[in-house]
């Protein structure tokens, strides 16, 4: 079992979905957790209670990753409370589907790119400045970057840039023993546009038919790989974007 005792992990977008499961998983391995959310304080508080029930400390920070000043403030607050940050999981993002490129509005473009690209970039920048030597930076991406599908041009393109940043940042931080990796899952049940069980039935069927294992991914699947990247077993693995697809090519 991964031992993260005496580690501090900051997980963006961790009030629900993939981020919440990752926060709970790292907490269950002994890490103190910084829970970040943008608006949903009730869900953030609920996640904090679940984390504290595991016997570790939790700090909730409301911050919009699309605002650089709020990203900086989030890291500073984490340092003030815990004294260090050892693990950063760059998870916060917005997902859209069923929107042809011709129908994408400037408003929607700005919203997705401000969170998925700008937010990820400046969170990774602050992580680079803040994370302890031999720490971990983990980006949660999407296989939509490798599988062109009608209706997801905006979302897929917005997830592409941070996957490139993973490789660059691994080169820049390697001398400090910091690893930088990406977890790149297929469509995940219980997250994003698939948060509600009955939504997007045709997309669910499409995913299941595309995956050799015959099912969608789960938040636990993503947490499994994130746990690996957060622990000692991955200490010589860096600059990788690992697909979590159940055998699908993308």
Q: Which residue numbers in the chain have pLDDT < 50? A: none
Give pLDDT, residue 250.
64
Assessment of whether the complete model's pTM goes beyond 0.85: yes
- The domains of the chain are located at 8-244
Give pLDDT, residue 206.
72
Let me know: does 23 contact 11? Beta carbons within 8 Å: yes
Look up tokens 């504290």; give the residue. Answer: 52
- Give the torsion sign (CA, 190, 215, 154, 241): positive
Greatest C-alpha distance within the chain? 50
Q: Are strands 87-90 and 188-189 parallel, antiparallel or unpaired?
A: unpaired
Give pLDDT, residue 197.
54
Q: 120-130 and 160-173 helices cross at what angle (nearest 10)?
A: 10
* Homologous superfamily (CATH) for 8-244: NAD(P)-binding Rossmann-like Domain (3.40.50.720)
Give pLDDT, residue 194.
72
Give pLDDT tens digits for 189-219. Answer: 877 667 665 566 777 777 777 788 888 889 9
């Amino acid at each position: 079992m991964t031992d993260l005792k005496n580690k501090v992990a900051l997980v963006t977008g961790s009030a629900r979905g993939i981020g919440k499961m990752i926060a709970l998983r790292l907490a269950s391995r002994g890490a103190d957790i910084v829970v970040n959310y943008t608006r949903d304080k009730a869900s953030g508080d609920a996640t904090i209670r679940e984390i504290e029930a595991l016997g570790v400390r939790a700090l909730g920070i409301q911050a919009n990753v699309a605002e650089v000043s709020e990203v900086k403030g989030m890291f500073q607050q984490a340092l003030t409370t815990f004294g260090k940050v050892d693990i950063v999981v760059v998870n916060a993002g917005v997902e859209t589907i069923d929107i042809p490129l011709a129908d994408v509005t400037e408003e929607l473009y700005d919203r997705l790119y401000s969170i998925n690209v700008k937010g990820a970039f400046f969170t990774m920048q602050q992580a680079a400045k803040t994370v302890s030597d031999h720490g971990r930076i983990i980006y949660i991406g999407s296989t939509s970057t490798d599988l062109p599908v009608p209706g997801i041009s905006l979302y897929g393109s917005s997830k592409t840039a941070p996957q490139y940043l993973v490789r660059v940042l691994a080169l820049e931080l390697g001398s400090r023993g910091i690893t930088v990796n990406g977890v790149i899952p297929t469509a995940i049940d219980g997250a994003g546009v698939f948060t509600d069980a009955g939504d997007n039935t045709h997309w669910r069927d499409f995913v299941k038919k595309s995956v050799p294992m015959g099912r969608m991914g789960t938040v636990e699947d993503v947490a499994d790989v994130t746990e690996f990247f957060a622990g000692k077993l991955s200490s010589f693995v860096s600059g990788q974007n690992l697909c979590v697809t159940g055998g699908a090519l993308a």
